[in-house]
Amino acid sequence: MNAPPTARAGAGADTRVVLCMKWGTKYGPEYVNRLYGMVARHLRGPFRFVCLTDRSDGVRPEVECLPIPPLALPEGIPERGWKKLTTFEADLHGLTGTALFLDLDVLIVDDLAPFFEHPGEFLIIHDWKRPWRVTGNSSVYRFRLGAHPDVLAAFRATHEDVRRRFRNEQAFLSDLLHRQGKLAYWPATWCCSFKYHCIPRWPSNWWRAPGIPPGTRIVVFHGEVNPPDALVGRRNRRWRHIEPSPWVAEHWRE
């Protein structure tokens, strides 16, 4: 695992920690490296960048690579993001401060500082498709490290029941923190969906390129399109055409 960098930020209650997670082979080290590059360009002042991972090969030295805490789930079950819940360990490798978790395939296009400054105990994206539900999208969430150990403890103690009742970790996480009165959402314009907000409506998606809505700070990729797909106009579902998005290259780089 990589050694911690010495020139970013020390430990302390006010430390800003950017967290990401990489396991398996779906995403290569270039996703971590480019995410770090985007954070470094859009977050002024000191911060720590930590990747919880089982594979640190090829990750740039500025990134602190630390093991993913064990979740002890049965072999062969659908993963569905449950590993993200390990970010709520009571002691996550001794990390302290405020953590901003980012999925590897997001695109950062504007200042990240407001994500650390916005008031709230726990902040997450409000689900775009079904906004009447409390469920958040966990591509971007913020919390105080070590402040919610009950989240992980509850999952470990009742994971069979949790997996029957909730489709994925973000549904379980949102429900639990909502019932505790701790759940809040980012301002609606800050995190947009490439799928829902950037791609023009049919039929203009066949000749108009996707664009970034005003006020966006982070573009979230979910479903079948990732940044390299958007860049060249590739989509894996029939009749769901998209034109190339050359602006992705401006942001998605080391």
Q: How confident is the model at residue 103 (pLDDT cuts 50, 70, 90)?
A: very high
| 135 is a domain residue | yes
Task: Band the pLDDT of 11: cuts 50, 70, 90.
Answer: low
Checking if the pLDDT of 79 tops 80, the result is no
The better pLDDT of the pair 70, 6 is held by 70
- One-letter amino acid at 231 equals L
Q: How do residues 115-167 score in pLDDT, each as one tens digit?
A: 999 999 999 999 998 888 999 999 999 999 999 999 999 999 998 999 999 99
Residue 200 counted as domain residue: no
Residue 69, classified by CB atoms within 10 Å of its CB into exposed (0-12), middle (13-18) or buried (19+), is middle
- Amino acid at the residue 251: H
Number of CB atoms found within 10 A of residue 134's CB: 17
User: Is the residue at 110 inside a domain?
Assistant: no
229 falls within a domain: no
- Packing angle, helices 169-179 and 149-165, rounded to 10: 120
> What is the end-to-end Cα distance of the chain in Å, rounded?
20
Give domain status of residue 45, yes or no: yes
pLDDT value for 116:
98
Can you give the C-alpha Rg of the chain in angstroms? 18
Model pLDDT, residue 113:
98
89 is a domain residue: yes
SS3 183: strand
In a domain, 76, yes or no: yes
Q: Which domain holds residue 164?
A: 16-105+124-182
pLDDT > 90: percent of the chain = 80
Nearest residue to 21 (alpha-carbon basis) of 87, 77, 71: 87
239 is a domain residue: no
> How many domains does the chain divide into?
1
CA-based nearest residue to 85, from 138, 23, 15? 138
pLDDT average, residue stretch 217-234: 93
Spatial contact of 125 and 137, defined as CB atoms under 8 Å apart: yes
Q: Which amino acid is at 229?
A: D
**Interatomic CA distance for residues 251 and 158, integer angstroms:** 41
Q: What is the CATH number of the domain that holds 178?
A: 3.90.550.10
pLDDT at 1: 52
